[in-house]
Structure 1
Amino acid sequence: MTTLTDRPGSVLLVVDVQRGVMAASVDSERVVATIAVLVQRARAAGVPVVWVQHSSDDLPLGSEAWRYVPELVAAAGEAVVHKTYGDSFEDTDLEDVLAARGAGRLVVAGAQSDACIRSTLHGAFTRGYDVTLVTDAHTTEDLSAWGAPPPQQVVAHTNLYWGFQRAPGRTAAAVPSDEVDLAGTRD
């Protein structure tokens, strides 16, 4: 029910599953494996996969830390969006990539739950997209030494929070990977 009426399609958006990010994230092996299954399912269903890749002082462009984890490789023809801000739409070509694919609905997975995932979810939602967060396919690092809750609580809170988002003409959902309808006919 996106407000982008000329875009009935869905996209699997894989955000920042990069070596440096995942090395610091909790439960990263399980999350990567879950995302890998989602990517396989999306490809099999003909749902486009769009990859987002962050660069910063901690993730210098082209560095080993900046590269995607080896378990997840973009296939020929799959878009890779490069960003420098938390919101994957901010100062990137993501909007054009999604428009070219007719996507009005995003299924979101990746890292970090309390930063780029949350920012991208909100960015998409405020731009008129329907957005589904895959509850068992995102993670974050432990920032409790700086006052953040433990990472498992961050993930749980992100799932809870996103499951209750509402806005006119748009839908939001928080759904486990085995219940995600990638094509968007249910959720």
Structure 2
Amino acid sequence: MTSLQEKSKLLSRWLRHRPDAIGLEIDKRGWVAVAELLLKSASAGVVLTQDELMQIVVENDKQRFSLSEDRTRIRAAQGHSVDVDLKLPVKTPPPVLFHGTAQKFIASIRRQGLLPGTRRDVHLSATKQTASEVGARRGTPVVLLVETFPLLRDGYRFRCSDNGVWLTPTIPARYIRFPDK
């Protein structure tokens, strides 16, 4: 028996990183037909009902999934490592955004800045609390502050996902405020 939480994690994996793991065909905007997802999931041994899927979408604490208006298609809101273009419009971010990371990554970030890693974009939060929760997933959390005006002035662009995560391809270290030790 697979719990709803486990099914949610599998959905993230399939819709963000490994659609091929169950033979999903994701379109260039990241969408997949709900009917196809339910069928392929069952074929892979994970029975997921329409009601369970809707419950996962609605109750996911990070709102990781988006449904099309007619509720026939689903996609991950952000965080893809597969090649998709969510067609999120460029938006002006708030004056300050936050990035949560773990202490063990600070030296690298000081050298290289924020890089997307296996994802397509760097993820930023509008609140310090959210960033701290993100950082805590991988160790002792550290919250970095990013003032957005200098980035905008220098030509950087931001987009905001359906679940409120701010996205940009990279942030050089000179734009990041590190906490005092």
TM bucket, shorter chain:
under 0.3
Greater RCO structure (CA 8 Å; 6+ sep): 1
The higher radius of gyration belongs to: 2
TM-score by length of 1: 0.26
TM-score by length of 2: 0.26
